Amino acid sequence: MFASNSLVELALSFQKSRILLTACELRVFTVLGKGKKLSMEVARAIGASERATDRLLNALCAMGLLKKRGILFSNTPTSSKFLGEDSPNFIRGLMHYVNMWDTWTDLTQAVRYGKSVSGRAISERGEKWLDAFIAAMHERAYKSASEVIKLLDLKKVSKVLDVGGGSGVYSMAFVRARKAITAAVFDLPNVVPLTKKYIKTEGLSDKINTVAGDYNVDEFGSGFDLVFLSAIIHINSPDKNQALILKASQGLNPGGQVVIQDFIMNEDRVRPDYGAIFALNMLVATEEGDTYTESEVRDWMRKAGLVNIIRKDTKFATTLIIGRKEG
């Protein structure tokens, strides 16, 4: 049970989140670097008010994200490691969370009207938003992708289609898991140039190619042994998911697999709790998105002609639902 004090604390928890996001947006941790600076020096570097910057830095000290000695401010080891842009461990997805703040501000209106009141299609959100989004998705999956792929049966897989694959992070894991595998990342025309950069950085351009298109409109082609849909179904309505899984099934070779990875809800839609919260993220950010139950996904797969449907839970809070094409 919540006590009144804990309810107030919960209601005010947005304040610390906003302080961190503002500091990241203004590049405070990067400006401080490994040195010590006066608040006025930081203010000049970030182009902000001296008094307001001083108060922001003080609040970051109170939160344990900066240190203050006399009138000089510096990063903590944690902030230097994860929040400074020059660090190899920099959390590059933080700017995506800044963008999420804007859509979550409209939650009340989204609940009232039943859909996003501020969300735009990915193709309409601009280069800055897209860079941050793809960076966040890549960062989130980079360390887990290889472990997720280990849960799959790849013995007869040589050709993979990664639908809405973004940076290609899962395609990278597929081609590294088995030498015989090549992959194609299917994503929007404004995403594909970013995909190519990530693939080139990993030295995998000879194993992974890209296809520009809209998965709700364009055909996938055929001859695939596995079609992978990671973090895709939560963007769509049930009808669009049914059509998408049918299209994926039609593109498979006999015996091929459709693999869905997502937050899969219990039938009561309350647990897992992160999935219940994420459903609201889809409400504020998309026209028709939601989180779905295992029974819903199984039903879409059966109607698409898939059989031998199984579930495998990952240790990363996601679930794999796998169906095979007969033959």
DSSP secondary structure code for residue 231 in this structure: S
Which residues of the chain are in CATH 1.10.10.10 domains? 4-84
The fold of the 122-325 domain, in CATH, is: Rossmann fold (3.40.50)
Q: CB of 132 within 8 A of CB of 95?
A: yes
In which band, very low, low, confident or very high, does the pLDDT at 118 lie, cut at 50, 70 and 90?
confident
- Answer yes or no: is pLDDT of 183 > 80: yes
The model's pLDDT over 93-111, given as tens digits with 9 standing for 90+, comes to 899 999 999 999 999 999 9
138 Cβ contact list (under 8 Å, min separation 6)? 92, 166, 167, 169, 198
- Reduced to 3 states (helix: H, G, I; strand: E, B; else coil), residue 67 is strand
Region 269-298 average pLDDT: 96
Q: What is the edge-to-edge ordering of all strands in the sheet holding 66-69?
A: 37-38, 72-75, 66-69
Euclidean distance between CA atoms 283 and 106, whole angstroms: 10
Which residues of the chain are in CATH 3.40.50.150 domains? 122-325
Region 173-180 average pLDDT: 98
pLDDT score for 65: 98
In which band, very low, low, confident or very high, does the pLDDT at 327 lie, cut at 50, 70 and 90?
confident
Q: Which of 1-5, 63-67, 74-78, 137-141 has the lowest mean pLDDT?
A: 1-5
The model's pLDDT over 223-234, given as tens digits with 9 standing for 90+, comes to 999 999 999 999
Euclidean distance between CA atoms 205 and 200, whole angstroms: 6
The model's pLDDT over 77-87, given as tens digits with 9 standing for 90+, comes to 999 999 999 99
CATH architecture of 4-84: Orthogonal Bundle (1.10)
Please report, rounded to a whole number, the percentage of residues in the chain having pLDDT higher than 70: 98
pLDDT score for 119: 65
Euclidean distance between CA atoms 255 and 302, whole angstroms: 15
Euclidean distance between CA atoms 308 and 324, whole angstroms: 6
